[in-house]
Amino acid sequence: MGARPRKRFGQNFLEDDAVISEIIDVIDPQVDDTVVEIGPGRGAITLPLLESGCELHAVELDRDLVKFWQQKSLNHFTVHECDALKFDFSALDRPPLRLVGNLPYNISTPLLFHFMKYKSHFSDLHVMLQKEVAERICANPGSKTYGRLGIMLAVSFKSEILFDVPPEAFNPAPKVTSSIIRMEPCEPCFDIDDSEMFAKVVRQAFSMRRKTLRKSLQPLCADEVFEICGVDSSLRPEVLEVSQFADLANYLSAQANSTP
Protein backbone atom coordinates (compact mmCIF):
# COMPACT_ATOMS: atom_id res chain seq x y z
CA MET A 1 0.00 0.00 0.00
CA GLY A 2 1.30 3.47 -0.88
CA ALA A 3 -0.24 5.45 1.97
CA ARG A 4 2.25 7.68 3.72
CA PRO A 5 2.49 7.75 7.51
CA ARG A 6 0.77 10.88 8.81
CA LYS A 7 2.43 12.77 11.62
CA ARG A 8 -0.85 14.24 12.89
CA PHE A 9 -2.12 10.71 13.54
CA GLY A 10 1.15 9.66 15.19
CA GLN A 11 1.64 6.99 12.54
CA ASN A 12 4.78 4.84 12.44
CA PHE A 13 4.22 1.75 10.31
CA LEU A 14 5.82 -1.48 11.48
CA GLU A 15 7.74 -3.19 8.65
CA ASP A 16 10.18 -5.65 10.26
CA ASP A 17 9.00 -9.21 9.47
CA ALA A 18 10.87 -10.74 12.41
CA VAL A 19 9.27 -8.33 14.88
CA ILE A 20 5.84 -8.87 13.33
CA SER A 21 6.26 -12.64 13.68
CA GLU A 22 7.30 -12.29 17.33
CA ILE A 23 4.28 -10.11 18.09
CA ILE A 24 1.90 -12.63 16.53
CA ASP A 25 3.58 -15.43 18.50
CA VAL A 26 3.00 -13.72 21.86
CA ILE A 27 -0.59 -12.81 20.99
CA ASP A 28 -1.24 -16.37 19.77
CA PRO A 29 -4.62 -15.59 18.14
CA GLN A 30 -7.13 -18.42 17.96
CA VAL A 31 -10.01 -19.09 15.60
CA ASP A 32 -12.61 -18.45 18.32
CA ASP A 33 -11.10 -15.12 19.43
CA THR A 34 -12.69 -11.71 18.95
CA VAL A 35 -9.81 -9.29 18.51
CA VAL A 36 -9.87 -5.49 18.41
CA GLU A 37 -6.90 -3.80 16.74
CA ILE A 38 -6.19 -0.14 17.39
CA GLY A 39 -4.84 1.41 14.18
CA PRO A 40 -4.43 -1.34 11.55
CA GLY A 41 -2.23 0.90 9.40
CA ARG A 42 -1.02 -0.99 6.35
CA GLY A 43 -1.87 -4.37 7.84
CA ALA A 44 1.46 -5.53 9.31
CA ILE A 45 -0.37 -7.11 12.25
CA THR A 46 -3.87 -7.13 10.77
CA LEU A 47 -3.28 -9.67 8.01
CA PRO A 48 -1.39 -12.21 10.16
CA LEU A 49 -4.15 -11.93 12.76
CA LEU A 50 -6.77 -12.71 10.12
CA GLU A 51 -4.81 -15.78 9.04
CA SER A 52 -5.65 -17.31 12.42
CA GLY A 53 -9.36 -17.24 11.54
CA CYS A 54 -10.26 -14.89 14.41
CA GLU A 55 -13.02 -12.29 14.24
CA LEU A 56 -11.20 -8.98 13.86
CA HIS A 57 -12.46 -5.44 14.46
CA ALA A 58 -10.11 -2.60 13.51
CA VAL A 59 -10.47 0.95 14.87
CA GLU A 60 -9.01 3.52 12.48
CA LEU A 61 -9.25 7.32 12.35
CA ASP A 62 -7.45 7.91 9.03
CA ARG A 63 -10.17 8.08 6.35
CA ASP A 64 -7.83 6.96 3.58
CA LEU A 65 -6.90 3.84 5.51
CA VAL A 66 -10.54 3.18 6.37
CA LYS A 67 -11.41 3.33 2.67
CA PHE A 68 -8.49 1.04 1.86
CA TRP A 69 -9.69 -1.61 4.30
CA GLN A 70 -13.34 -1.30 3.27
CA GLN A 71 -12.34 -2.03 -0.32
CA LYS A 72 -10.60 -5.23 0.75
CA SER A 73 -13.87 -7.05 1.60
CA LEU A 74 -12.08 -9.43 3.95
CA ASN A 75 -13.87 -12.23 5.78
CA HIS A 76 -14.26 -11.96 9.57
CA PHE A 77 -13.10 -8.35 9.42
CA THR A 78 -14.82 -5.06 10.25
CA VAL A 79 -13.21 -1.63 10.19
CA HIS A 80 -14.66 1.10 12.41
CA GLU A 81 -13.95 4.71 11.42
CA CYS A 82 -13.53 6.21 14.86
CA ASP A 83 -11.16 7.91 17.24
CA ALA A 84 -9.97 5.12 19.56
CA LEU A 85 -10.33 7.54 22.49
CA LYS A 86 -14.08 7.61 21.82
CA PHE A 87 -14.64 4.01 20.78
CA ASP A 88 -17.27 2.11 22.76
CA PHE A 89 -15.87 -1.40 23.18
CA SER A 90 -19.05 -2.53 24.90
CA ALA A 91 -20.93 -1.95 21.63
CA LEU A 92 -19.21 -4.96 20.07
CA ASP A 93 -21.16 -7.18 22.47
CA ARG A 94 -18.66 -10.00 21.95
CA PRO A 95 -16.76 -10.30 25.23
CA PRO A 96 -14.21 -11.26 26.14
CA LEU A 97 -12.28 -9.15 23.67
CA ARG A 98 -8.57 -9.33 22.96
CA LEU A 99 -7.06 -5.92 22.23
CA VAL A 100 -3.89 -5.35 20.21
CA GLY A 101 -2.27 -2.28 18.73
CA ASN A 102 0.70 -0.03 18.19
CA LEU A 103 -0.65 2.88 20.23
CA PRO A 104 0.13 6.41 18.96
CA TYR A 105 2.73 7.70 21.40
CA ASN A 106 1.15 11.15 21.62
CA ILE A 107 -2.11 9.74 23.06
CA SER A 108 -0.96 6.46 24.63
CA THR A 109 -1.67 7.48 28.23
CA PRO A 110 -5.25 8.73 27.66
CA LEU A 111 -5.87 5.60 25.57
CA LEU A 112 -4.78 3.36 28.42
CA PHE A 113 -7.12 5.18 30.81
CA HIS A 114 -9.90 4.78 28.24
CA PHE A 115 -9.27 1.02 28.13
CA MET A 116 -9.63 0.91 31.92
CA LYS A 117 -13.28 1.86 31.57
CA TYR A 118 -13.89 -1.36 29.62
CA LYS A 119 -11.79 -3.68 31.78
CA SER A 120 -14.61 -6.20 32.14
CA HIS A 121 -14.83 -6.60 28.36
CA PHE A 122 -11.20 -7.66 27.84
CA SER A 123 -9.42 -10.95 28.38
CA ASP A 124 -6.02 -9.43 27.57
CA LEU A 125 -4.30 -6.53 25.83
CA HIS A 126 -1.06 -6.63 23.82
CA VAL A 127 0.05 -3.11 23.01
CA MET A 128 3.18 -1.39 21.75
CA LEU A 129 4.27 1.71 23.62
CA GLN A 130 7.26 3.94 24.00
CA LYS A 131 9.68 1.95 26.18
CA GLU A 132 9.75 4.70 28.80
CA VAL A 133 5.96 4.50 29.17
CA ALA A 134 6.03 0.69 29.34
CA GLU A 135 8.59 0.85 32.15
CA ARG A 136 6.42 3.31 34.07
CA ILE A 137 3.43 0.99 33.77
CA CYS A 138 5.34 -2.04 35.02
CA ALA A 139 7.44 -0.28 37.69
CA ASN A 140 7.56 -1.44 41.31
CA PRO A 141 7.48 0.83 44.38
CA GLY A 142 10.87 2.37 45.07
CA SER A 143 11.95 2.67 41.44
CA LYS A 144 12.46 5.98 39.66
CA THR A 145 9.82 5.08 37.07
CA TYR A 146 7.11 4.24 39.63
CA GLY A 147 4.33 6.83 39.58
CA ARG A 148 0.77 7.80 38.86
CA LEU A 149 0.36 5.91 35.57
CA GLY A 150 1.55 2.58 36.92
CA ILE A 151 -0.45 2.93 40.14
CA MET A 152 -3.71 3.76 38.39
CA LEU A 153 -3.35 0.92 35.90
CA ALA A 154 -2.28 -1.57 38.58
CA VAL A 155 -5.78 -1.36 40.05
CA SER A 156 -7.21 -2.85 36.85
CA PHE A 157 -4.41 -4.73 35.09
CA LYS A 158 -1.46 -7.00 35.72
CA SER A 159 1.18 -5.82 33.26
CA GLU A 160 4.51 -7.13 32.00
CA ILE A 161 7.03 -6.08 29.36
CA LEU A 162 7.52 -8.86 26.81
CA PHE A 163 10.25 -7.45 24.55
CA ASP A 164 11.63 -4.25 23.03
CA VAL A 165 11.29 -3.10 19.41
CA PRO A 166 14.08 -0.96 17.88
CA PRO A 167 13.32 2.26 15.95
CA GLU A 168 14.55 0.79 12.65
CA ALA A 169 11.63 -1.67 12.65
CA PHE A 170 9.32 1.22 11.65
CA ASN A 171 8.76 3.60 8.78
CA PRO A 172 9.38 6.36 9.61
CA ALA A 173 11.73 5.37 12.41
CA PRO A 174 10.73 6.98 15.72
CA LYS A 175 13.38 8.57 17.90
CA VAL A 176 12.74 6.13 20.74
CA THR A 177 12.76 2.40 21.43
CA SER A 178 9.36 0.74 21.80
CA SER A 179 8.17 -2.12 23.98
CA ILE A 180 5.45 -4.74 23.67
CA ILE A 181 3.55 -5.24 26.91
CA ARG A 182 0.86 -7.69 27.96
CA MET A 183 -1.92 -6.43 30.22
CA GLU A 184 -4.41 -8.79 31.84
CA PRO A 185 -7.48 -7.59 33.78
CA CYS A 186 -7.22 -8.37 37.48
CA GLU A 187 -8.95 -7.62 40.75
CA PRO A 188 -6.81 -5.85 43.39
CA CYS A 189 -6.29 -7.62 46.70
CA PHE A 190 -7.64 -4.52 48.47
CA ASP A 191 -10.79 -2.41 48.29
CA ILE A 192 -11.11 1.04 46.78
CA ASP A 193 -14.28 2.63 48.11
CA ASP A 194 -14.12 5.79 46.01
CA SER A 195 -12.23 5.65 42.70
CA GLU A 196 -12.36 9.44 42.28
CA MET A 197 -10.81 10.03 45.71
CA PHE A 198 -8.17 7.39 44.99
CA ALA A 199 -7.23 9.13 41.72
CA LYS A 200 -7.17 12.48 43.51
CA VAL A 201 -4.82 11.23 46.25
CA VAL A 202 -2.42 9.63 43.76
CA ARG A 203 -2.42 12.69 41.50
CA GLN A 204 -1.78 15.05 44.42
CA ALA A 205 0.98 12.86 45.87
CA PHE A 206 2.94 12.84 42.63
CA SER A 207 2.36 16.53 41.90
CA MET A 208 5.43 17.07 44.07
CA ARG A 209 7.26 13.81 43.57
CA ARG A 210 10.43 14.82 45.42
CA LYS A 211 8.55 16.05 48.49
CA THR A 212 7.46 13.94 51.45
CA LEU A 213 3.90 12.75 51.69
CA ARG A 214 3.30 15.20 54.52
CA LYS A 215 4.06 18.09 52.18
CA SER A 216 2.63 16.77 48.92
CA LEU A 217 -0.64 15.59 50.49
CA GLN A 218 -1.02 18.54 52.84
CA PRO A 219 -4.06 19.89 50.92
CA LEU A 220 -5.86 16.58 51.57
CA CYS A 221 -4.41 14.92 54.66
CA ALA A 222 -3.94 16.19 58.20
CA ASP A 223 -1.07 14.61 60.13
CA GLU A 224 -3.36 12.29 62.06
CA VAL A 225 -4.66 10.72 58.84
CA PHE A 226 -1.24 9.19 58.14
CA GLU A 227 -1.04 7.83 61.67
CA ILE A 228 -4.53 6.31 61.52
CA CYS A 229 -3.78 4.67 58.16
CA GLY A 230 -0.37 3.42 59.25
CA VAL A 231 1.47 5.41 56.59
CA ASP A 232 4.81 7.10 57.31
CA SER A 233 4.29 10.71 56.22
CA SER A 234 8.06 11.31 55.99
CA LEU A 235 8.30 8.98 52.99
CA ARG A 236 8.17 10.04 49.36
CA PRO A 237 5.19 8.86 47.29
CA GLU A 238 7.38 6.70 45.05
CA VAL A 239 7.91 4.12 47.82
CA LEU A 240 4.26 3.56 48.79
CA GLU A 241 2.41 0.40 47.78
CA VAL A 242 -0.78 0.82 45.77
CA SER A 243 -2.73 -0.56 48.74
CA GLN A 244 -1.40 2.24 50.98
CA PHE A 245 -2.71 4.88 48.60
CA ALA A 246 -6.03 3.01 48.75
CA ASP A 247 -6.02 3.12 52.56
CA LEU A 248 -5.51 6.89 52.54
CA ALA A 249 -8.19 7.43 49.91
CA ASN A 250 -10.70 5.18 51.69
CA TYR A 251 -10.24 7.03 54.97
CA LEU A 252 -10.60 10.45 53.31
CA SER A 253 -13.69 9.28 51.46
CA ALA A 254 -15.25 7.99 54.70
CA GLN A 255 -14.47 11.31 56.39
CA ALA A 256 -16.06 13.27 53.55
CA ASN A 257 -19.20 11.12 53.60
CA SER A 258 -19.60 11.42 57.36
CA THR A 259 -19.34 15.21 57.33
CA PRO A 260 -22.79 16.85 57.69
The pLDDT tens digits of the residues spanning 187-229 come to: 888 999 999 999 999 999 999 989 999 999 999 999 999 999 9
pLDDT band, very low/low/confident/very high, at 1 (cuts 50, 70, 90): very low
> Which CATH number belongs to the domain containing residue 31 in this structure?
3.40.50.150
173 and 118 belong to one structural domain: yes
Mean pLDDT over the full length of the chain: 93
Q: How far apart are CA 76 and CA 35, in angstroms?
A: 10
Q: Is residue 1, in this structure, part of any structural domain at all?
A: no
Q: Is residue 78, in this structure, part of any structural domain at all?
A: yes
135 and 251 belong to one structural domain: no
Q: In the chain, what is the straight-line distance between the N-terminal and C-terminal CA atoms, in Å?
A: 64
pTM as predicted: 0.91
87 and 181 belong to one structural domain: yes
Domain end marker among 150, 185, 220: 185
159 and 237 belong to one structural domain: no
72 and 20 belong to one structural domain: yes
Q: Is residue 129, in this structure, part of any structural domain at all?
A: yes
211 and 94 belong to one structural domain: no
Q: How far apart are CA 112 and CA 91, in angstroms?
A: 18
Q: Is residue 229, in this structure, part of any structural domain at all?
A: yes
User: Residue 39 — left, alpha, or beta (φ > 0 → left; ψ -120 to 50 → alpha)?
Assistant: left
48 CB contacts (<8 Å, ≥6 apart)? Answer: 20, 21, 24
| Domain region containing 93 | 7-185
Q: Is residue 2, in this structure, part of any structural domain at all?
A: no
Q: How far apart are CA 234 and CA 16, in angstroms?
A: 49
Burial class (CB in 10 A: 0-12, 13-18, 19+), 248: buried
74 and 145 belong to one structural domain: yes
Q: How far apart are CA 61 and CA 68, in angstroms?
A: 12
Domain end marker among 128, 151, 185: 185
Residue 233: is its pLDDT beyond 80?
yes
CA distances from 124 to 25, 80, 115, 234, 251 (A): 15, 20, 11, 38, 32
> Which CATH number belongs to the domain containing residue 210 in this structure?
1.10.8.100
117 and 245 belong to one structural domain: no
Domain end marker among 185, 205, 220: 185
140 and 90 belong to one structural domain: yes
Closest CA to 117 of 99, 141, 136: 99
Q: Is residue 190, in this structure, part of any structural domain at all?
A: no
Please give the single-letter amino acid code of residue 101.
G
**So what's the pLDDT on residue 144?**
92
pLDDT band, very low/low/confident/very high, at 174 (cuts 50, 70, 90): confident
Q: Is residue 206, in this structure, part of any structural domain at all?
A: yes
Please give the single-letter amino acid code of residue 147.
G
Domain count, the chain: 2
| Percentage helix, strand, coil for the chain under 3-state DSSP, each rounded to 5 | 45, 20, 35
Q: Is residue 47, in this structure, part of any structural domain at all?
A: yes
Residue 80: is its pLDDT beyond 70?
yes
24 and 57 belong to one structural domain: yes
212 and 243 belong to one structural domain: yes
206 and 166 belong to one structural domain: no
